[in-house]
Amino acid sequence: MSENPLLSPWNTPFGLPPFGAIEPAHFPPAFEAAMAAHRIEIAEIGANPAAPSFANTVEALEGAGRLLSRIGATFFNLAASHATEALQKVERDIAPKLAAHRMAIALDPALFRRVAALHQQREGLALAPDQHRLLERLYLRLMRAGAGLDAKARARLSEISTRLATLHTSFGQNVLADENEWRMALTEADLDGLPESARQAAREAAAAAGVDGYVFTLSRSSAEPFLTFSARRDLRERLWRGFAARGALTAGRQNAPLIREILVLRRERAKLLGEADFASFRLRDTMAGSPAAAEGLLRACWEPAKRRIAVEKAELSAFAQAAGHNGAIEPWDWRYWAERARQAKHNFDGAALKPHFELEAMMRAIFHTARRLFGLHFEERAEIPRYHADVRGFEALDEAGQHVGLLLLDNYARPGKRSGAWMSSFRVADALNGRTAPIIINNNNLARATPTLLSFDEARTLFHEFGHALHGLMSRARYPSQSGTAVLGDFVEFPSQVMENWLSLPETLQTHARHHETGAALDEALLARLLAARNDGQGFAMVEYLSCALIDLALHRHKSPEDLTLEEFEADFLAEIGMPEGMALRHRPIHFSHLFSGDGYAAGYYFYLWAEVLDADGFEAFEEAGDPFHPDLAARLKSIFEAGDTADPMALYTAFRGRPPQVDALLRKRGLVGD
């Protein structure tokens, strides 16, 4: 093999990976070399004969592992966005090795002794506030990894971590394989009710698959428009059943046994660390603080949501029956009849709106919002290396024209790309040794079409992920582990969710939601109907979300997961919470990647609701000021985006809002007050 580009200097624009030179075979030796170098750095910190100091221990640890971080970020972004069979083979092999490597560092006795000594004398070290928090968080992280336990327990925790890495990888790859392999090929005669935008996307999907006609897939951007607009109930049911069965579609590739083992191992880990269950362990280090507090928030919204959906269902059933529908409203019927009812009630056609939400225009809208709020502007850079032709690069510049960072946008669904929408980074911002500018990526899964027209929800997702991107781009933390989105789990969604509000502003819609052919703005009457229709279906949306967040907590509080029969548990759980008839989980456990393709949102899917409390309450400050771009409020909000994990999140929020958040704002936003 020629010289490994992953181990050589990257003389590329903005320091991006040299994608064109990288092959899957380069990763295994690069990972091995980077882990070896990192082990040497950690050993040197632990063996330093000098007394522990913040500089020779904490800052040295922050500076260690740069090569491994660079290689890992490159690999895992490619594995998520541009996976091949060769990359997935590397992922299956490297995931447990990396987990073992990380645990060996977290449990290194010499390193822990130095950190513990510093933590004990922290009040006398004259540390800056961000340094004090960094030391506190580092000590807590090592303790939660098991560094304070005896050798036998530490060894078992390492085994658990290594095995979980393998299980998480298998879970995610199984879901991706089901999404890649399932397709529904149709002819023109099967497309009754579908708008031109859905037809165009299906034509392009068919062409990409090398077949005639139209292809619909289990990508959410393909499935949801079909479920919303197709008049063919039999085909809606067929697609919905495939969508609901992801993770269980193929014999020998079933996720249920993986879930059981994951839950058993997570529970064992929690017990070794002194907690009753994994949910208690996970939520100890969050703003909520406990499963009871998180569940209390969810239950406070659950009953109003159920009352609302009972009204919605009665109205929907009456409307559907009047239109000729016989029988109950089933899960594959909800979106279709809700859209028909919304059109009738508000004279509002969601499909007819899509020509006003062209992708390029919505990108201009997010950039315009960032400029007015935070003084950032974005310039496209065509010269950047890219791993796929879909990727576009935009340089973020501040008001003085100085480089802030690079934003990559990868907007389209395709085989080999996992579903959903997410933000990640190829490099985080820090100022440890001079400023390192971030390289942030937003992934979406839009159905490719010419032009690409978005639903209102897809446009909102674009704003949401851009909020995460801004959180990473604007970071002013000096230490990498405090940078950008490296905050408490139930705070990380606040910057993303609050950004969604700026899409719904009349001025944003009037300026950017223009017909892609005529340039005509949304007329005031249509705009009024759009805004009036936003709270339609809130019972459905809340029940879909809350049931998933509640089952997440229930799974991670299960007293004997080794005995879990997943289908029975799911059915019993839905009966216990009183899931409305005809409703289904948006994310069934078998494909709930938030929970089981990694630890990120395990026992933490409630994060979105807590963030929505902050979002609703926070945006009300702008509404109370009468200016969605109020300079003082924007400056205080900017401080949250810049802070990363340098301060307690409640202190950051209170400094912005002037008081702690209030849950009532969420109920008002969702239109659930009085239900």
Which residues are catalytically annotated? 465
The tokens describing 573, both together, are 């759980």
- Please state, in angstroms and rounded to a whole number, the distance separating the CA atoms of residues 117 and 104: 20
Whether a cis peptide bond, with omega within 30° of 0, leads into 17 is no
Conformational region of residue 327, where left means phi above 0, alpha means psi within -120 to 50, and beta covers everything else? left
Using DSSP, state whether 397 is helix, strand or coil.
strand
114-117 long-range contacts (CB < 8 A, ≥24 apart) are: 114/45, 114/46, 114/48, 114/52, 114/57, 115/52, 115/57, 115/58, 115/139, 115/142, 117/52
Residue in the block written with tokens 């200097």: 9
Give phi and psi for 129, each to the nearest 5: -55, -40
Exposure string over 462-496, b if 16+ CB within 10 A, otherwise e: bbbbbbbbbbbbbbbbbbbbbbbbbbbbbbbbbbb
Query: Nearest-CA neighbor of 47 among 113, 3, 124?
Result: 113
- Torsion sign (Cα): 591, 267, 77, 478: positive
Contact assessment for residue 418 and residue 172, using Cβ atoms and an 8 Å cutoff: yes
- Please state, in angstroms and rounded to a whole number, the distance separating the CA atoms of residues 489 and 491: 5
DSSP state string for 225-290: HHHHH---HHHHHHHHHHHHTTTSSSTT--SHHHHHHHHHHHHHHHHHTT-SSHHHHHHHTSSS-S
* Strand 403-412 versus strand 392-397 pairing type: antiparallel
Residue 666 makes CB contacts below 8 A (sequence gap 6+) with 301, 609, 612, 613, 616, 617
- Please state, in angstroms and rounded to a whole number, the distance separating the CA atoms of residues 458 and 446: 8
* Strand 214-217 versus strand 183-186 pairing type: antiparallel
- Please state, in angstroms and rounded to a whole number, the distance separating the CA atoms of residues 262 and 266: 6
- Please state, in angstroms and rounded to a whole number, the distance separating the CA atoms of residues 371 and 511: 15
- Please state, in angstroms and rounded to a whole number, the distance separating the CA atoms of residues 506 and 524: 9
* Strand 403-412 versus strand 439-446 pairing type: parallel
Give phi and psi for 442, each to the nearest 5: -105, 125
- Please state, in angstroms and rounded to a whole number, the distance separating the CA atoms of residues 35 and 66: 10
Residues forming beta bridges with residue 392, ordered by sequence position: 409
- Please state, in angstroms and rounded to a whole number, the distance separating the CA atoms of residues 641 and 633: 13
Give phi and psi for 88, each to the nearest 5: -65, -35
Cα separation values, 531 from 312, 450, 459, 466, 503, Å: 18, 27, 14, 22, 11
Contact assessment for residue 475 and residue 644, using Cβ atoms and an 8 Å cutoff: yes
The tokens describing 353, both together, are 């709106």
Type of residue numbered 571: A
